[in-house]
Chain A
Amino acid sequence: MTDTPNSVASSSRPSAHSQRYDRQLRLWASSGQASLEKSNILIIGANSLSSQIIKNLVLPGVGSFTILDDANVDPADMGVNFFLQPGQSQGRSAAQEMASLLSQLNENVEHNFKIESPQALLASKPGYFRSFSLVISVNQPPEFDLALSDLLWSIEPPRPQVPLLKIRSSGMVAEMTIDIKELGIVETHPDSIIDLRLTNPFPELVAFAESFNLATTDSLTHSHIPFVVILLKKLEEWKAKNGGSPPSTKSREEFVTLINSSRQPGNLDEENFDEAIAALGKHVWRPLSSDHVGAGGVPSEIRELFKDARCEVLSSHSTNFWLMVRALRDFVDNSPTKSLPLTGSLPDMKSLSATYVGLQNVYRNKATEDLETFTRILGQVCVNAGVRGGSGAIDEDEIQAFVKHAGYLKLIRGRSERERRERPRTDAVTMAFLDPVNPCTFQHHIAFRASDLFYLKHARYPGSSRTFSRNLRNQDLDAQGRSRGSKPDHGADGGGGEGEGEGDPRKAKRSKSNESDEMVANGEAAGVGAGSDVEMAVETCVNHEGHGEEEEEEEEEEKEEEEPCFEEDVRLLAKEAESVIKSLGISTDGEEMEKIHDSLKEMVRSGHCSLPPTTALMGGVVAQEAIKILTRQYVPADDLVIYDGIQQALGVFKL
């Protein structure tokens, strides 16, 4: 007996593991946590934004992460990246330093780093990128992102697909594009999965309701008739009087009067009737007005799944999601009322305990019966599809979760980066600018795209020096610029300004031109003093005014390294934006242009610098979507998320 005092407590108390994750287990349960812990994530780019993203993935406990980057830490990083050690990290590999500091947040997470150029690695070992469960590419060059996207998109089953998140940020704005080929989500966590079938009751429920008498004179009994029973009876009564048709919202008042007519005069304890009236919207009108689950119907989104080719043609490679969708279709076909399986959940309501338990049993028994039928059908589906293991191939918990959420499934079928660029959804773009309520954020996408084109042509980002740009992206601009080929009118200018004697670019400071130590070392005038703002940068433009415009461009580019000029950059960027605007089908004479132009100016002004509130917020947004994808719970954004810190808005677009 000596060991008993702790036995029960120790066997029922949570482990340290679940204590640590307690607050999140209540969001995605142990199934979601297990998926998270199995994941291995690749983060490309060791910078302040990626450190925030990784922090938000390490804390909830992903399986492992790997940071890929060959850059070293420089002083400007220290100011914005919380996961570098002052006085220690400087000059070392950013990927290594970040990996080791971030790993201290959670010893359950495996951390790795790879000091290699992402571009080089993509060219030499594409298979490396396919070995992760998720890839997050942070502030990488557009052509790298596109090549990576092409690579990951080409993965075919049975190899698991690798979703790709591509993030860009500049000052107060940021965006994320999500490449998901296909993601079937079962646990979408709708507001409620309660399905009372009031307007389409099953026989056992009808029988249960019949055992009550609304005209009883016993006040205690009367005030404890559950609202479900009140509504079932009143709906029957209404239908009997109205030729079998249920009440519509138009006849709401009359129906409420009908309900109230059964209240017991003088009985003040009739909250069950209040509950019945309060439940009308949720459990009667809404189910009736649509193919809402609560009416025993099949929502249109689920019917779409039934028609999908993947549901139609099954094979041994079919995912569990599709096997179960097919079983669901067969279940509905076999159901006398053509209904989905019942969830069996019941809301709290005023009633006697025994009545409540009785009612609960009616719903539960039906739900259990439906689950058994579904499982049997699923077994047959699996066998027919040639799935190894047949009916036992799918875990019982997974089946249960699927049946519970059968009315709320969500299929995300995304687009690749190439599709988005070559065949953008121009209607979505038009809608983006028409939102009457929310501030429009889409213009920033155009600015980011234009900025990419600018970069290809000028070997730097608008508003920032080449040194800064090169370090931001950490790559050899000469190679990129030439191999990709700039537009013909600029020919080989792409990398023209790159000086030979600059030494190892990785050692260069990641600072904007006006602070670059390097330039001072080179004996060049720094243009403006440290701490200048845009106005001062604009001033330097004045010096350029004497130059001719186009024919001098080449010469200008030579100087751009030292003196990016605000107005000139805005002009050049606007030129790049033209083709983007055209490809997205945006009319050039509307208000859109003003928004776009403002955004372009902001892009130049901020020069792709990192601002802590933006990286913090975006780090949260990116990790949140990553978690939804990894856990296959909740519905992730699809597929372009744009944050605007100036208007304090965040929009989601399907481009």
Chain B
Amino acid sequence: MLAYIVRRILYAIPILIGVNVITFALFFAVNTPNDVARMQLGVKRVTPQAIEEWKREHGYDKPLFYNAARSGLARLTDTIFFQKSVRLFAFDFGRSDSGRDIGADIRQRMWPSLAIAVPVFIVGLLTNITMALLIVFFRATYLEVSAVVLTVVMMSISSLFYIIAGQFLIGKLMHLVPISGYSGGLSAFKFLVLPVAVGVISGIGSGTRWYRTIFLEEFGKDYVRTARAKGLSELRVLFRHVLKNGMVPILTGAVVILPLLFTGNLILESFFGIPGLGSYTIDAIQGQDFAIVRSMVFLGSVFYIVGLLLTDISYTLVDPRIRLR
């Protein structure tokens, strides 16, 4: 088990290097370091000296991938790519192109992101499982048919519609909660209710359908027939047997998104004006702040890989037949 985890972590390193190569290539195919400097310095103070100065300060005064002027290994290490990437691996994000401390920003903005993503995740999971159980319990009735149609309909509505309709109905017409914004502490609650509700509702359609197929698959298995043959009531079969066994694929499937909750929800955060990591990323994209984008991509990849690892581990925990080698 331990050997497996260590091997997986080592395997992550080439993936992260690959991710960095792609982000660098994409970004610098668009902007040369000179462009970046010019943008950050603004229109007024742009002189060739100022640009050189800025590039030296921020470490952009080297070749991108290959330094022909040096010799030996330094040809590869004395480049923008190497210098900037190595620090990322130590989770030292450095300063953004506009001079802010990215590490501090991320630590500060992580909490609003989590404050949205965690409730959406938990409430969403509970709602979807309950709905799916109800649908499965009432299977082969008109209730099931209409519920299934309802999930398809809900799935076909754009998430933007849920956001806009929610803001308009609850925020503007009924004045129950503020339309957007955020504040720390307990008063955050009234800012979070609406985004969380919208996040949960927009996920009901696809989530419920997915869990329904899982439960239906369980219903076809032999142990269900055995349980019924023993004379167990349908409710008992559902909760004691099907739910328990169905939770295995559901939970292992949910584990993979757990780490990604940290990076926040781009759309919800920017629509509701919540200062989390999602809106941080969007702002950085629009301001073309490469240092932030690079850090967020790196962070996202790390979390993704951690999620895959957690999935594998959770499989062994819930199903002892699976051994990791």
A in complex with B? no
Interface residues of B (CB under 8 A from A): none
- A-to-B contact residues, CB < 8 Å: none
